[in-house]
């Protein structure tokens, strides 16, 4: 119930983007993320739990996913350009064909991770 209220509030401007990270809505699914993307310039998913969630082909450019648990998440073909993934758990995440250009991966746990065909131009905090 808390998750539904938080997403509704964000969609209708009842809480600000900064307030989202202060809520208890830490376990989200693909549908929740799509709803939050609809809130322009408000994709703050700091510290959320998205273990094994299918986020393929979503536009998560400039999203804040710092400290998020993204273990086994599927980002196939997703746009993560300029996204903040610093300190995130990306173990077994799939970034096949994803756009990670200029993303920040500082301190992220990337072992192992699939990067086949991913655009890693200008990625910060990670060396191939």
Domain residue ranges of the chain, discontinuous segments joined by + = 2-37
Sequence length of the chain is 128
DSSP letters of 11-36? HTTSS-HHHHTTSS--B--HHHHHHH
User: Between 30-37 and 2-11, two packed helices, what is the crossing angle to 10 degrees?
Assistant: 20
Q: List the chain residues with pLDDT less than 50.
A: 1-16, 18-25
Provide the pLDDT for residue 41.
61
pLDDT digit string, tens, across residues 72-84:
999 999 999 999 9
Provide the pLDDT for residue 95.
98
Rounded Cα distance, 128 and 115, in Å:
10
Provide the pLDDT for residue 43.
78
Provide the pLDDT for residue 40.
55
């Amino acid at each position: 119930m808390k998750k539904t209220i938080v997403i509704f509030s964000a969609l209708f401007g009842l809480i600000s983007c900064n307030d989202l990270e202060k809520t208890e809505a830490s376990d989200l699914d693909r549908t929740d993320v799509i709803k939050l993307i609809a809130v322009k310039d408000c994709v703050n998913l700091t510290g959320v739990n998205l273990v094994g969630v299918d986020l393929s082909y979503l536009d998560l450019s400039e999203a804040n996913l710092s400290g998020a648990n993204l273990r086994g998440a599927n980002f196939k073909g997703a746009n993560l350009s300029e996204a903040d993934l610093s300190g995130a758990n990306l173990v077994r995440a799939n970034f096949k064909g994803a756009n990670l250009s200029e993303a920040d991966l500082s301190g992220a746990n990337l072992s192992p991770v699939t990067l086949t065909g991913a655009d890693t131009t200008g990625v910060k905090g990670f060396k191939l």
